[in-house]
A and B are shown apart, each in its own frame.
Chain A
């Protein structure tokens, strides 16, 4: 809890940064909205759908904090990892709490203004479904995202510099998770790739649930697959951590 509090305070200490990040978030959504409104200018229903899709997807993105890879990766690269081994809190738990604080600060300082500014669009012809399932899918998506990026952090034992690989994952998510472009408009072969990877559970799946585009059987199947993906990445994290402990050599008196 203390890590959470400290990290939350750190997130809001630079007031100008907070203001600029609020403006940045509102601007980013505005640019995407203008693009979709132009592209679907002859289809009012699609404009309404893409408007809500863009705003909600932007809010969902705030639940996915990629900083954990840096937190773990930097400790591995600098050797600070060794001192964390003697602490009573697991490195992953510590990094996760800090990320959770960052997410709370983000939701307060960026999410809330985005919701307030775009509220008229969000409530116009509101047709939201499966809210409990949506929250559950975002919570599970958060776990999946966290495990993918913490695995990347631990892989600093092998890769040393992890930022290029973080960028590869970021960009793959940008195209294949359905955060910006709905998966339905991807060409078939790209759509197949997106469906074979776990990233679609981050944006596309919760958004499909929210807008009533997924039937219940399909939704249950998707939840099952998502839990399998979380288990796979959880297992890989545990394996990587154990291997790291076996190989790590700590010098000192």
Chain B
């Protein structure tokens, strides 16, 4: 609770400072809104031209893409600017200044920068997801809504864990952003589409090696009533648990890396 109160104070201060440059603040938010609006428009163009992608209509695709983007945005608000870009904090020497303060390192980094630019993504995703839920063929039940909430939680934890692990690699590599671009951004592009259209080995990699499909694909199968195998059902239903485990693993990796860190200066 104490941390939440401190975080609240930081966010308040952040917005006060940011509001001094209102035009920059709102143009940044709008740019992110527009960027993902264009992505949804691209998906719409493809599904309009081909009817559906392996049985996934525009509304289904919106749910699939939306779950990925929504969870990414929430994790991004907390971790993207600082923890995910830990290499910048290390090479600039800023990390040393965190270490002499009494609060935990990850908590400090969360407080340091509120990811305001992700708000535009959250807004555009909510608009499209709510509209998709209203239009999908399958009737959403109370279970679907409860499950959706847990799936979002699991997704946020996996995305946050990914940002922490990939940022932590800087403790070993000094510069991890290029590796993160491939492992996180490029590989996650696969889960913008139904995994059923890709070869089996990609499905295995994105499920058991990099858990990106558990963020949105398996939960979407359950929400949209598209589950066909027991494996899909189990992976979907366990996504919040996998999220918790992955997040704990990421904190473990972060702390191992921190133990190895010996400062950037002379």
Contacts and interface: CB of A to CB of B under 8 A. Distances in A.
Interface in A167-218: 167-168, 170-172, 174-175, 180-181, 185-187, 190
B31 A39 contact: no
Contacts of B190: 31
B31 A14 contact: no
A23 B182 contact: yes
B55 to A, nearest CB: 12
Interface string A59-98: 0000000000000000000000000000000000000000
Contacts of A167: 31-32, 34-35
A34 B27 contact: no
A172 B38 CA distance: 7
A239 interface: no
Contact of A35 (B32, B179, B197): B197
A186 B23 CA distance: 33
A174 B181 contact: no
B31 A24 contact: no
Contact of A163 (B21, B28, B38, B45): B28
Interface residues of A, number: 33
B187 interface: yes
What does DSSP make chain A's interface, helix, strand, loop or mixed?
helix
Interface stretch (B46-54, B207-215, B223-231, B239-247): B46-54
Contacts of B94: none
B98 interface: no
Given A27-B187, A28-B186, A163-B28, A175 B38 contact: yes
A17 B24 contact: no
Nearest to B27: A164
Contact of B197 (A24, A34, A186, A190): A34
Given A27-B182, A27-B186, A34-B198, A161 B175 contact: no
A175 B31 contact: no
Nearest to B41: A175
B54 A161 contact: no
B42 interface: yes
Interface in B56-111: none
B24 A161 contact: yes
Given A14-B175, A17-B175, A31-B190, A175 B42 contact: yes
Nearest to A173: B38
A238 interface: no
Contacts of B38: 171-172, 174-175
Contact of B45 (A14, A20, A159, A187): A187
A165 interface: yes
A180 B175 contact: no
A67 B38 CA distance: 22
Interface of B: 21, 23-24, 27-28, 30-32, 34-35, 38, 41-42, 45-46, 48-50, 53-54, 173, 175, 178-179, 181-182, 186-187, 189-190, 193, 197-199
